[in-house]
Amino acid sequence: MTRMATYNGMPAADLGDVRWRKSQHSNPNGACVELAALPSGEIAMRNSRFPGGPALLYTQAEIAAFLAGAKDGEFDHLLA
C-alpha cells in the first residue's frame, strides 16, 4: 500500500476518502470548521464553505492543546 504524501495547504479533496466531521454547535448556514482523522494519525481541518479548498494538517498533540485551551476559555476574547 502506497502512503499518500500530505502537506499543509493541500486541497482537501486530495486527501481521499476521509470522514469529515463538524460540531453539532456549527452555524446553521453551514459555515463551520470540519475535521478529519487521517491514516497517518494527523488531523486535517478545512472550511466547510470551501470543501475542496486547502486543508491544514495538525498532530494529535497540537489538536489536544488547542481543545484544552478552548475548553479553558483562552480564545473567548476572539468572539467579542
Whole-number percent of the chain with pLDDT over 90: 71
Q: What is the pLDDT of residues 34-72, one digit of tens each?
A: 999 999 999 999 999 899 999 999 999 999 999 999 999
Q: What was the pLDDT predicted at 3? A: 58
What is the pLDDT averaged over residues 4-21?
Answer: 91
Whole-number percent of the chain with pLDDT over 70: 95
**pTM listed for this prediction:** 0.85
Please give the Cα distance from 33 to 48 (Å, whole number). Answer: 6
- Looking at this protein, which amino acid is placed at residue 66? F
In terms of Cβ atoms closer than 10 Å to its own Cβ (0-12, 13-18, 19+), residue 12 is buried
